Amino acid sequence: MSPSAALRCLARRLPMVLAVLLLASNAKAAEPTDAQRADFKQAYVAAQQGGDGWRSLASGLRDYPLYPYLEAAALTHDIRQLDRARVEDFLKRNPGLIPASDLRRDFLLELARRQDWDNYLALYQPGINDTLTCYALQAQLSKGTQLDFDRDVSALWAKPKLPSACDPVLSAAHDQGLLTTERLWSRIDRAADANQGGTISAIAGWLPAEDAEAAQRIAMALRDPAGAATAAAQWPDTPRQRQAAMLALERLARKQSIAADAGWQKLQSHFTFTPEQRDRVLYAIALFHATDFDASAIARLTALPASVQTDISREWRVRAALALQDWNAVLAAIDAMPPTQQQDGEWRWFRARALNELGRGAEAQRLLASLAQEPTFFGFLAADRVDAPYAICQSPLNGDPQREQALLANRGLLRAFELFAVDLPRQARREWDQALNGADVETVKLATDLAYRRGWYDRAVFGFNNGDLLRYYEQRFPLVSQDGLVRQSEQAGIDPSWAYAILRAESAWMPDAHSGADARGLMQLLPSTAALVAKRNGLEWAGDDSLYDPATNIALGTRYLAQMAQRFNGAPWLASAAYNAGPGRVDQWLDVRGTLAPDVFIATIPYKETREYVARVMAFSVIYDWRQHGKAVGLSERLTPIGRAYRLPDGQTQRKLVTCPAIVTPAPVTAGTAVAPASGASSEAPARTSSNTH
């Protein structure tokens, strides 16, 4: 290109170049200061107390990205004194903002409490939630409007459970003759499928008397299956009574498979069950005999008709065979799976184990060599078995400062980062989700890496969870020194890599994580447990909310881990199971299956959540060991046989090489399924789930 042509080209591009530079410059200039953040924190505390006292503290924050949160906090506190005009003024000045949406929702609830239906309808927007939808219908009813089932009720009616705000609406629909017997039974069936006995009881009285009795028995089957199964012997053999009896037996099998079996023997001749009902009962009984590891489990599962079999029943056939160490039965059960299920890492591992036990070592080696190419729990076990390096392919994520500054021009993302910086992580996650909704992969990668470098670690755990994104190990498995995990682990006498793995599996690096069982913080400790651990170890205990402080949580969490490890000969895999399901449960499992090899024992843990948790934690331990040392202690060395003392890794411990094979399919680091970002009950119909006991 000639000099003159180059100049003409530059002249044409100059406005675009200047625009990009200006965008980056403006974004950089808009970066809030630590002083603004400190002022916001102080003003936010004042705003949460209501009134206008916060305004003087926020006099220099008018242009601060989080200023609307201050006003919204004050208005929310004073919501019982607000009028519609003040709320609408805030909504008009802050369109589309999360605090504006929240204020609208909260003020609508207040207007409903006042039964100020005119203002409610003026402010209402459809689609927020079922409670507000039903209040809007109540508002319409107050004006004498007649309901239309298709327009007003059908969407709500399709849900098995509704908030109490919908009760007057459903009562009006009944009084207006909209809830026909057919519609009532349709909702009862949906509620029965969703185990919502309360819903059934609430509407049963609207049925004709004979139908109402049957509906209440369906509710009883869900609420008290043992009592219903006993009482069913006196029920008439009608379609709905059969349905109630079938549900009672099906639900009873989940808790007492032997009692369900006895109940079936009595009731199968009393009722003319349909083939589908019969299959449902036999499926449940067979399945839960398997979860109880009953001697008849394999035969029962094998005898189920092919049309009744599910992936769950087929996998429990394998687990029952593993518990008996019947390797022919293990192989037969895996062979009975469809090809896609057989490809799960767990079943490839146990196929290889069965082949090896049956003297077919060459076939086993070929299978293990392939499995060893995957960075999973079973892939690591396979690599140990064939003496191969661990296959972990890491990709670097290089920052782009110019694009990052442009990215921060997204006000929603800037608010997300600011909320995180001022210790409001729940609100930060909401802003993050809204700001990046629909964004392309490259934008999400850029934002996630920026979050990582700002210390917001859980964004990568949630965002980098499939495909090639799994290779960003630095971001997905952060090493955070400022919270003292390595030091606290060493003082507690446990392996830091294991403590990192527990933390990662429990909270996904969310310091404000809070479970339904009231477990809190990074390592998900119950306040009662934390208080006892603090007392036992002479550590300071500042109350329940101190568990949201990372340093406090880690200090107590590592000591509790050490306590669990000590109970189980130091074995981190058994201690992990105890951390998830409770040590008493693990003791029960050891009493009946304590002679099994560790991998087989894990596969026979009755709780799906705990099985996957143990596999996930142990795989994470390998990855964190590699992240710290460049090599990793073998997974098999971490799975010490039951009853044998575990030797803590030290400077003399041999570690395995980690390499990236030329061709490797990225796979989640779990027992063959996608990584769960945090702990919590997994949904699986047959498995009895544990409760968080730590």
Which residues are part of the catalytic machinery? Answer: 506
Angstrom CA distances, 16 to 19, 21, 443, 531, stand at 5, 9, 21, 61
What is the rounded distance in angstroms from the CA atom of residue 195 to the CA atom of residue 299?
Answer: 29
What is the rounded distance in angstroms from the CA atom of residue 547 to the CA atom of residue 181?
Answer: 52
3-state secondary structure (DSSP) of residue 114: helix
What is the rounded distance in angstroms from the CA atom of residue 606 to the CA atom of residue 322?
Answer: 13
CB 531 within 8 A of CB 541: yes
Which amino acid is located at 291 in the chain?
Answer: T
CB 253 within 8 A of CB 288: yes
What is the rounded distance in angstroms from the CA atom of residue 596 to the CA atom of residue 256?
Answer: 25
Residue listed under structure tokens 């651990």: 533
Rg (CA), the chain: 30
> Helices (H), strands (E): how many in the chain?
39, 2
CB 261 within 8 A of CB 658: no
Angstrom CA distances, 237 to 230, 232, 250, stand at 15, 9, 18
- Rounded to 5°, the CA angle 309-310-311 comes to 135
CB 240 within 8 A of CB 218: yes
Residue listed under structure tokens 């544990």: 690
CA dihedral 611→300→239→195, nearest 10 degrees, is -10
What is the rounded distance in angstroms from the CA atom of residue 302 to the CA atom of residue 316?
Answer: 11
3-state secondary structure (DSSP) of residue 169: helix
How many other β-carbons are positioned within 10 Å of the β-carbon of residue 345?
Answer: 22
Among 97, 93, 99, smallest CA distance to 74 is for 99
What is the b/e burial string over 632-643, where b = at least 16 CB atoms within 10 angstroms of the residue's CB? bbbbebbbbebe
User: DSSP readout, 355-387?
Assistant: HHHTT-HHHHHHHHHHHTTS-SHHHHHHHHHTT
Residue listed under structure tokens 């029943």: 313
CB 495 within 8 A of CB 489: yes
- Which residues, in sequence order, are bridge partners of residue 656? 632
Angstrom CA distances, 149 to 155, 173, 183, 261, 348, stand at 9, 8, 10, 43, 53
3-state secondary structure (DSSP) of residue 632: strand
Among 278, 288, 277, smallest CA distance to 312 is for 288
